[in-house]
Structure 1
Amino acid sequence: MTTTRSLLRPAVVLVTTAIMTVSLFAQARELSVSTVLSDAFPWGQAAEKWADLVKERSGGELTLRVYPNAQLVNGDQTREFSAMRSGLIDAAVGSTINWSPQVPELNLFSLPFFMPDVEAVDAVTGGAAGTMVFDAIESRGVMPLAWGENGFRQLSNSRRPIDEPDDLEGLKIRVVGSPLFQDTFTALGANPIQMSWADTKPALTTGAVDGQENPLSVFDVARIDQAGQDHLTLWNYMNDPLIFAVNPQVWGSLSDEERTLLREAAEEAGAWEIAMTREQEPERLAAIKARGVTVTELDEAQHEAFVEATEPVHDEWGPRIGEALVEAARADMQGE
């Protein structure tokens, strides 16, 4: 018997060790998080902040590994939502623009000249329309958790100052892969060219395209002016909120405590990033001007000319987005 017990002991130790190892791995978990921009930009910083908060509050048992530059979808930012829905990506801090091909309701934020300022954006994301948008995202197979912000998108070009729609006539403007952007710039007389972010700066440098539209943070950090973009028009023609979201199977596999932790960390990271993005805008604009960029700011009459020129876009896209959602957003902005 003594000999038999001696022979059994190593096996028992091995089995016990294996069980302990499995238990440890079951407790510690890493989720992949996709972003389009790195932590040189507020967008990427939002994802890193989320990761830091989750790691700290979970004691390292739940961690987020951020993959910037859309590398999990080979640079094709419009595939991010589908990849997250299918489980190829666990989570993302993504753009309403990039996800709009799969969630048409997200085009609400891309309606030209619909939301005039950050107060309007906050009213929509924090109101009935924001809830409807999150419901739409969830119905398409992804769990939304919190809002962030990429900011109002401004227009730059290498040719001339732009302060009226006619100034855009014939200009080749890089846009993201959204039909709404194509329709907006076509309505303004430009020649919109769909292009990934990775290809944009080289195309600007070579003159393959004349201009682009992006928030000040992107223009500043990416040094778009170095690609010959000497003219910048501040027109706030649309806003691009960010959304923190998770694959539903991943979400369903988490405990209630982990879900609460993940959501609250996303909400805190989002609020932090929104405040930071807005606070930095005056400094970014001053830096852009100091580098010799001609900045054009529209007066009320000039702004109204762009609004009128893009009214047909609203007529076409309102039904696609959902008239009920558009009206809810209007009511939110009016404080109703």
Structure 2
Amino acid sequence: MKFPRCFTLLATAAALSVAMTAQAREYSVSTVLSDAFPWGQAAQKWADLVKERSEGRITLRVYPNAQLVAGDQTKEFSAMRSGLIDMAVGSTINWSPQVPELNLFSVPFLMKDNADLDAITQGEAGKLAFAAIEKRGIMPLAWGENGFRELSNSVKPLRAPADLAGLKIRVVGSPLFQDTFTALGANPTQMSWSDAKPALTTGAVDGQENPISVFDVARVDQVGQKYLTLWHYMADPLIFAVNQRVWKGLPEADRELLSQAALDAGKWEIELSRGQQAQRLADIRSRGVEVVELSDAERSAFVEATQSVKQSWAPKIGPQLMKAAEDAIAKP
């Protein structure tokens, strides 16, 4: 039986619609911070670019505040590796328990500024760090940025290692952070960020360290943090990444789309984050926070006080990676 041409066209269109629907995919994306922060905005930008460039065929659903791991950000990498999370925009700090090489970025005073950070992430050291992540079942696609971490407290201006003696400082759950603040004479106290603000409010801890964006958006000045020292002691790059099983199951064209969108979102977020620093500091000062900017001599005293930490952690990070990072920084 021969059907009219109009019916044939309608059948073809219906078949195409079914095929398009069958190809539609939704993936989970984990982040620790919401889109009130540049970190969360990076994940949302990635999702927006992917949706636009795939014409709605691929959806990245962002789950902020580490909600896919019940708030325990240090479990994010393991959850993604096991397949409980499809993708993430994650922190080198939070992933370092599973990828020791990522402790490179937490080595105290390894990097002085953004130029040093870029030299590492965009060079041989960055490739080695990505290779270490891929080796453990995750496909890294691009770099983002949570920023250099600065030090605040409720007691006094901090200009020298001796000023930290006995201060209780909230740190993330990394042994390297414990070692760094112990070397400086402080009393490092590990706790989640959700527990940190109440502890700062009650005085259970005296201070904390975080990027300027977190200090500003989270209004850490409202929980007694009256003194902020800009010491740039370490940076926290972000990584756009995908579970390898998900990655391998994607057509090559979709891999290219996801990867390029991650690169573009990462570049956008880094520029956004750095471009906001001056205004954020001005706003923080206007709220009555005393901001301390270290001289070269003052910073050198902190560098010297933490040399033993760098030496003890270098073998755990890997000689090849450490050398690549130091060589990148040393280049004119």
Is 1:126 aligned with 2:117? no
**Residue in 2 that maps onto 1:5:** none
TM-score when scaled to structure 1? Answer: 0.93
Question: Is 1:68 matched with 2:64?
Answer: yes
**2:307 corresponds to which residue?**
311
Other-structure match for 1:169: 165
Deviation at 1:290, TM superposition (A): 0.3
Map Cα deviations across residues 110-163 of structure 1 (whole Å, 9 max, x no partner). Answer: 000001110010000000000000000000110000000000000000111100
In structure 2, the residue matched to 1:214 is 210
User: Does residue 153 of structure 2 align to residue 183 of structure 1?
Assistant: no
2:200 to 177, 198, 204: 204
Secondary structure in structure 1 of the residue aligned to 2:276: helix
Q: Percent identity?
A: 70
Query: Unaligned stretches of 5+ in structure 1?
Result: 1-15
Matches of residues 119-268 of structure 1 in structure 2 within 5 Å?
119-268=115-264
The corresponding residue for 2:45 is: 49
The alignment status of 1:271 with 2:267, answered yes or no, reads yes
User: Which AA in structure 1 matches 2:102?
Assistant: L
Q: Which amino acid aligns with 1:118?
A: N
Which of these residues, 109, 112, 135, is aligned with residue 108 of structure 2? 112
- 1:43-102 superposed Cα distances (whole Å, 9 cap, x missing partner): 000000000000000001001000000000000000000000000000000000000000
CA apart distance, 1:23:
3.9
Q: Which amino acid is 1:68 matched to?
A: P
Runs of 4+ deviating beyond 3 Å: 18-25
1:143 & 1:200 partners in 2: Cα distance?
Answer: 32
Cα distance, 1:199 vs structure 2: 1.3
Aligned residues between the structures = 322
Equivalence map 1:83-122=2 (5 Å): 83-122=79-118
CA–CA separation in structure 2 for the residues paired with 1:254 and 1:167: 53
CA–CA separation in structure 1 for the residues paired with 2:16 and 2:206: 61
Aligned partners of 1:334 and 1:128: how far apart in 2?
A: 13
Does the C-alpha gap of structure 1 residues 203 and 19 become closer, same or farther in structure 2, counting only changes over 3 Å?
farther
How far apart are residue 25 of structure 1 and its match? 4.4
Q: Give, in whole Å, the separation in 2 of the partners of 1:166 and 1:25.
A: 63
SS at match of 1:153: strand
Paired with 1:215 and 1:188, the residues of 2 have a C-alpha distance of 20
Aligned CA-pair RMSD: 1.7
The separation in 1 between residues aligned to 2:216 and 2:238, in whole angstroms, is 19
Distance 1:170 1:314 in 2: 22
Q: Which amino acid aligns with 2:100?
A: P
Corresponding position of 1:58: 54
* Structure 1 residue 26, shift from structure 2 partner: 2.8
- Report deviation, 1:229: 0.3
Q: Provide the TM-score with structure 2 as the length reference.
A: 0.94
